[in-house]
Structure 1
Amino acid sequence: MRNRRILSIWFPRLAAERHIRRDPTLGSVPFAVVKDIGQAQVLASLSVSAQAAGLYQGQPLRDAHAMCADLLTRLSNPHAEAAFLGVLHRWAGKFSPWVAREEPDALVLDLTGCAHLFGGEEGLARQVDQDCADLGLSVQLGVADTLGGAWALARFGGQTGDDHHRNGDAIDQEARATRSRAGKRRHWERGGAAPTVTAVPVAERLRVAPPGQTHAAIAHMPIAALRLEDHTAAQLARLGLRRVHDLTSQPRAGLARRFGRGLVARMDQALGSLPEPVSPAPAPDRFATRLSLPDPIGLEDDVMAALDRMLPRLCGSLRNKGRGARTLRLEAYRSDSTMQWMNVTLAKPSDDPERIRPLLRMKVEDLDAGYGIDMLRLEAVVHEPIHLRTKVGHLEAGEAVKARLAAKGGLDDLIGRLGARLGIEAITRVQPADSHIPEKTSITVAAAWSEPVRGWPKRGRRRPLRMWRPEPVMVPDVPRLPKTFRWRGRDHIVHAMTGPERIAPEWWLDDPNWRSGQRDYWEVITEDGDRLWLYYAHGGTMSSGWFCQGAFA
């Protein structure tokens, strides 16, 4: 375990500084990010100015406004903060190939065999600190033999035990009368969050435990440095066990029996007795290409000539990974520092430039070049796996398969072109559904994300080509249809009728449209040539009567 070296990078103001990077004016005033906890809002992340005003993390927002009337706040956005941490995850890959995220505001790097490339561990830590300063981010670092030790050094490395022993905080220095005030100690000593970070010199932000010295480095830290659960830390504090060395000097069997094996496991992970590997998340595949132009362009043919150079590179990258582009984004950067972008969605994922180019051509017609375009960027924002097909058999069979695949590809291309004009979601197809209710025998789905159905299931009776909501028919309320009936303001004379076909409602569902009970369906041909689909509802919770629901071709 001593051969491993772990770096923990903690961004204590990540959420607040994400907003400050977008709006630098927030950095000159007290600013905080708030989140909802139950029915109240509390401070989740503070800027340097807000902390200097006496505010602290977890403080109710009403109390914070009472202390600092000039406080500006923004609501917490966990998804945006996670995305920002993902960007920092990619940045940290320059220091080590093994990088893992610790939600919501930390990264962990396995530096084994990497530190010498940056002049040693301290040199690497200083480089990380300098990069974060250039990015406008506050950071605290910890390097140790174990992940738990590095985590503790990054958050509690500046809080040693000596300064607190001198002021009587230790349990062995307390008089009996003062022990009743033990609840007023710092919340982090009772197992809460790490202490609020203040502006400290660079040397104090870089906490490196020499190899084999992790136990000595964290021995005088509070028990919160062991990443214990809040209720476990609170119970230990009530027993007077507030420092790591207080726990390590206790019999392990008694601690495990009273507080569970989780406490002992956390101690072993921090001290290196129990392995805790760094599990890096694989970087997501990104497929994009760009082309910088020596002179601004504005003609449609020039843009297409540039895309002809970009598409093969992009499709080659997709093909190497076995992926196909579903949605592409074309970004056109103008010479006046503005940008226009547009999306193209394919009916089926593809890595063929000849299938993508016509769709881009249709979008380029709407491109506003302005004062000229000096850079183009093409990215596959949505991509899916595709599988290569190997055709086997004699020559005629191979040609038949090729023709069938070409016909299917032509339909996909047609859907893609129509979708480029009308919107890909506007192109739909009908598929069969498993239900005996007439209006539920089919569903409408997006054509781009579905396959055509070759054979529809056969049913006992045929269904009308057009179907609508049942409309009342003006006839006497009897099960037998008379010779003449009135529907849609017209009188119709029955020439022939076929039926009945009885359909019962789905008894396991309470469908409001079928509360009229069982229905007897009839195919009625009028003397005017109309082929209507009428039914008689026998009545249930609604009244009975005749209705028209569709028409045959």
Structure 2
Amino acid sequence: MRKRVASVWFPRLPSDRVLRARTLEVANSNRPFALVQHEKNTDRIYCLNQAAEAQGLHRGMGLSDARAYCPELYSAAANPQEDARFLQSLARWSKRYCPWVGVDGRDGLVLNITGSVHLFGGEGEMLDDMRHRLARAGLTGRIAAADTRGAAWARTHYAHKPDADITALPVAALRLDEKTDTALQRLGLRKISDLLALPRMTIARRFGPNVMLRLDQAMGTQDETITPIGEAPHYAVRMTLPEPIGLSADVMAGTKRLLDQLCDKLKRQAMGARRLQLTMRRVDQGAQQIELRLAAPMRDAMRILPLFDRGIRTADAGFGIDQLRLEATQVENLADAQITAATAARPDGLEDLITRLGNRIGLENIQRFLPADSHIPERSFQIVPAAYSTATGSWSTLRPRPLCLFPPEPIAASGTRPPAQFRWRRMSLTTGRATGPERIAPEWWLPDDNWRSGVRDYWKVDTTQGRRLWLFYTPQNPNWFVQGEFP
């Protein structure tokens, strides 16, 4: 039986993933959309939809330049980790066509469809069914089949027809790196047929063995294996009890045994649980479920067990519980930590506290401040959920900043120096000491109407009434404002 390999390429996988999950108007319109990633001290386009490409935008382009070309561009932050997980889910979906499916790079799949095309009425019918289902799911996919993996990849990435002759395609279709591709084109070797016309030893001596390997893989003289995706580990354990139990202490003891087994499995896979679900089946076939959301990935049974205590004490055991089931419904990578004599006794106490509070009021409601790369006071920090962020970075400013910031509030004053007396929030205040000015210029590359008017001169004003305020003056439009207060 002749071997047949299908290649599926998603040229806009990240943007398609975000748009198909959005309810905004951009998801159902032809509005330009792009995903942005911070690279080399600036925001650059990571992936974009077809409407954005039609406006002349491209990957790697700076976001500020893109907005200059296309003011109506809608953007969002890229998430390569979510893209990788989404590609894994597409690989599992592709197993409906054949059992041998592998991931090809960051945006493609490869399928060994040998022996399974007859189940769909033929190879053409199978590929058409793939295209139809992907289009209905809102995904842009290019699909082609060939006798080799390299030829199938070349057709999806460089051919205009699924059955094109690969020898007429550019040499880049051999999956060569950019440096090698440029060197070949400088010598006039632009198509695969040009390489085939040269002696093998000449190519290998000039460009190394990788070019010949890729050429042989595409032409079928060198076999290339497909590594199938493995089944995702199932992090769940179960215990069936010989006699029903109902006491909280007994349920906690059973939960401890399940936690020990589950944490051992998580440790072998170098994973940590972020969300756990304990299901207690009663003798009347009813069930009680306790969900535990953790502030950080964990696999320490002794730390996790006390967090179940409150839920178990309030659960209704009915006439007794005859089965316990514990499942880690959300897991994350968690590498082994080096334990030394300098390690704190309870370095994870903060995460345990956030977990306890978060399971009562919601993890998203416990937030922390993180520094941001901006000298604009309003943009020098960001507020993020504490459970899904790490306290990293530090604030560094030449002048002190107030702990309390609020939108600028105008005051009646004139002149370029702080007024001797002024009214603020129905209070009459007298300036005792003024320190400044500190001139802050706007960041022209960010769209902020409040800072479009020009520079601001900030002053730290200590009043005789005890208030320590942060005032600024706008030279281009003479006015005074209060924006913060020092402790």
TM-score range, shorter chain: 0.5 to 0.7
**Who is 1:482 aligned against?**
419
Matching of residues 180-219 of structure 1 within 5 Å: none
Judged with a 3 Å threshold, the aligned counterparts in structure 2 of structure 1 residues 458 and 102 are, in CA distance, closer, same or farther, namely closer
Divergent runs of 4+, >6 A? 227-230
Residue by residue, what CA displacement relative to the aligned partner does 1:472-529 show, whole Å, maximum 9, x if unpaired?
11x1343233222111122212222211111111122231121332111111122211
Residue by residue, what CA displacement relative to the aligned partner does 1:173-226 show, whole Å, maximum 9, x if unpaired?
xxxxxxxxxxxxxx969x9669xxxxxxxxxxxxxxxxxxxxxxxxxxxxxxxx
Is the Cα–Cα contact under 8 Å of residues 97 and 116 in structure 2 kept in the other structure? no
Give 3-state SS (helix, strand or coil) of 2:417's partner.
Answer: coil
Confirm whether residue 106 of structure 1 aligns to residue 44 of structure 2: no
Confirm whether residue 434 of structure 1 aligns to residue 373 of structure 2: yes
Q: Which consecutive residues of structure 1, in runs of 5 or more, have no partner in the other structure?
A: 7-36, 40-81, 90-99, 111-145, 160-186, 195-226, 236-255, 258-268, 392-397
- What is the CA-CA distance between 1:389 and the residue it aligns to? 0.5
**Who is 1:132 aligned against?**
none
CA distance in 1, matches of 2:128, 2:271: 46
Matching of residues 77-226 of structure 1 within 5 Å: 103=94, 105-108=96-99, 148-156=113-121
**Who is 1:123 aligned against?**
none
Matching of residues 345-384 of structure 1 within 5 Å: 345-381=293-329, 382-384=331-333
CA distance in 2, matches of 1:463, 1:287: 48
Is the Cα–Cα contact under 8 Å of residues 402 and 484 in structure 2 kept in the other structure? yes
Confirm whether residue 552 of structure 1 aligns to residue 486 of structure 2: yes
Name the amino acid aligned to 2:482. Answer: C
Name the amino acid aligned to 1:327. Answer: R
Q: 1:499 aligns with which of 436, 441, 447?
A: 436
CA distance in 1, matches of 2:439, 2:112: 70
**Who is 1:320 aligned against?**
268
**Who is 1:30 aligned against?**
none
Give 3-state SS (helix, strand or coil) of 1:107's partner.
Answer: coil
Q: 1:513 aligns with which of 450, 457, 464?
A: 450
CA distance in 1, matches of 2:238, 2:128: 48
Residue by residue, what CA displacement relative to the aligned partner does 1:77-111 show, whole Å, maximum 9, x if unpaired?
xxxxx99x98xx9xxxxxxxxxx85727323369x
Confirm whether residue 413 of structure 1 aligns to residue 352 of structure 2: yes
**Who is 1:471 aligned against?**
409
Give 3-state SS (helix, strand or coil) of 2:99's partner.
Answer: strand
Name the amino acid aligned to 1:389. Answer: Q
Which of the two has higher C-alpha Rg?
Answer: 1
Residue by residue, what CA displacement relative to the aligned partner does 1:30-81 show, whole Å, maximum 9, x if unpaired?
xxxxxxx999xxxxxxxxxxxxxxxxxxxxxxxxxxxxxxxxxxxxxxxxxx
Give 3-state SS (helix, strand or coil) of 2:348's partner.
Answer: helix
Judged with a 3 Å threshold, the aligned counterparts in structure 2 of structure 1 residues 277 and 407 are, in CA distance, closer, same or farther, namely closer
Q: 2:283 aligns with which of 328, 335, 348?
A: 335
**Who is 1:525 aligned against?**
462
Q: Which consecutive residues of structure 2, in runs of 5 or more, have no partner in the other structure?
A: 5-27, 31-84, 102-110, 131-154, 166-191, 194-216
Give 3-state SS (helix, strand or coil) of 1:456's partner.
Answer: coil
Matching of residues 231-246 of structure 1 within 5 Å: none
Normalization by structure 1: what TM-score? 0.51
CA distance in 2, matches of 1:107, 1:348: 38
- What is the CA-CA distance between 1:364 and the residue it aligns to? 2.1
CA distance in 2, matches of 1:102, 1:278: 17
CA distance in 2, matches of 1:548, 1:345: 41
Is the Cα–Cα contact under 8 Å of residues 534 and 546 in structure 1 kept in the other structure? yes
Judged with a 3 Å threshold, the aligned counterparts in structure 2 of structure 1 residues 501 and 231 are, in CA distance, closer, same or farther, namely closer
Name the amino acid aligned to 1:372. Answer: G
Judged with a 3 Å threshold, the aligned counterparts in structure 2 of structure 1 residues 496 and 232 are, in CA distance, closer, same or farther, namely closer
CA distance in 2, matches of 1:232, 1:421: 56
Judged with a 3 Å threshold, the aligned counterparts in structure 2 of structure 1 residues 489 and 283 are, in CA distance, closer, same or farther, namely same
Is the Cα–Cα contact under 8 Å of residues 523 and 534 in structure 1 kept in the other structure? yes
More divergent stretch after superposition (458-467 vs 275-284): 275-284
Give 3-state SS (helix, strand or coil) of 1:317's partner.
Answer: helix
Give 3-state SS (helix, strand or coil) of 2:294's partner.
Answer: strand
- What is the CA-CA distance between 1:340 and the residue it aligns to? 3.4
Name the amino acid aligned to 1:427. Answer: I
**Who is 2:53 aligned against?**
none
Give 3-state SS (helix, strand or coil) of 1:296's partner.
Answer: strand
Is the Cα–Cα contact under 8 Å of residues 192 and 230 in structure 1 kept in the other structure? no
Give 3-state SS (helix, strand or coil) of 2:234's partner.
Answer: coil
**Who is 1:204 aligned against?**
none
Is the Cα–Cα contact under 8 Å of residues 101 and 280 in structure 1 kept in the other structure? no
**Who is 1:385 aligned against?**
334
CA distance in 2, matches of 1:147, 1:521: 67
Name the amino acid aligned to 1:434. Answer: D
Residue by residue, what CA displacement relative to the aligned partner does 1:300-344 show, whole Å, maximum 9, x if unpaired?
222212112211111111222222222212222233333333322
Name the amino acid aligned to 2:442. Answer: P
- What is the CA-CA distance between 1:230 and the residue it aligns to? 11
Judged with a 3 Å threshold, the aligned counterparts in structure 2 of structure 1 residues 193 and 507 are, in CA distance, closer, same or farther, namely closer
Is the Cα–Cα contact under 8 Å of residues 326 and 384 in structure 1 kept in the other structure? no
CA distance in 1, matches of 2:293, 2:338: 23
Is the Cα–Cα contact under 8 Å of residues 349 and 386 in structure 1 kept in the other structure? no
Give 3-state SS (helix, strand or coil) of 2:430's partner.
Answer: strand
- What is the CA-CA distance between 1:550 and the residue it aligns to? 0.9
- What is the CA-CA distance between 1:277 and the residue it aligns to? 4.5
Give 3-state SS (helix, strand or coil) of 2:461's partner.
Answer: strand
Name the amino acid aligned to 1:460. Answer: L
Name the amino acid aligned to 1:362. Answer: R
Matching of residues 205-284 of structure 1 within 5 Å: 277=225, 279-284=227-232
Give 3-state SS (helix, strand or coil) of 2:275's partner.
Answer: strand
Name the amino acid aligned to 1:483. Answer: A
Q: 2:382 aligns with which of 416, 423, 443?
A: 443
CA distance in 1, matches of 2:473, 2:283: 70
Name the amino acid aligned to 1:294. Answer: P
Is the Cα–Cα contact under 8 Å of residues 418 and 434 in structure 2 kept in the other structure? no
Is the Cα–Cα contact under 8 Å of residues 430 and 442 in structure 1 kept in the other structure? yes
Is the Cα–Cα contact under 8 Å of residues 97 and 113 in structure 2 kept in the other structure? no
**Who is 1:212 aligned against?**
none
Judged with a 3 Å threshold, the aligned counterparts in structure 2 of structure 1 residues 362 and 383 are, in CA distance, closer, same or farther, namely farther
Give 3-state SS (helix, strand or coil) of 1:408's partner.
Answer: coil
Give 3-state SS (helix, strand or coil) of 1:108's partner.
Answer: coil
Give 3-state SS (helix, strand or coil) of 1:150's partner.
Answer: coil
Percent identity reads 40
Residue by residue, what CA displacement relative to the aligned partner does 1:216-239 show, whole Å, maximum 9, x if unpaired?
xxxxxxxxxxx999956799xxxx
Judged with a 3 Å threshold, the aligned counterparts in structure 2 of structure 1 residues 537 and 342 are, in CA distance, closer, same or farther, namely farther
Is the Cα–Cα contact under 8 Å of residues 291 and 377 in structure 1 kept in the other structure? yes
Give 3-state SS (helix, strand or coil) of 2:332's partner.
Answer: strand
CA distance in 2, matches of 1:335, 1:308: 21
Name the amino acid aligned to 1:153. Answer: H
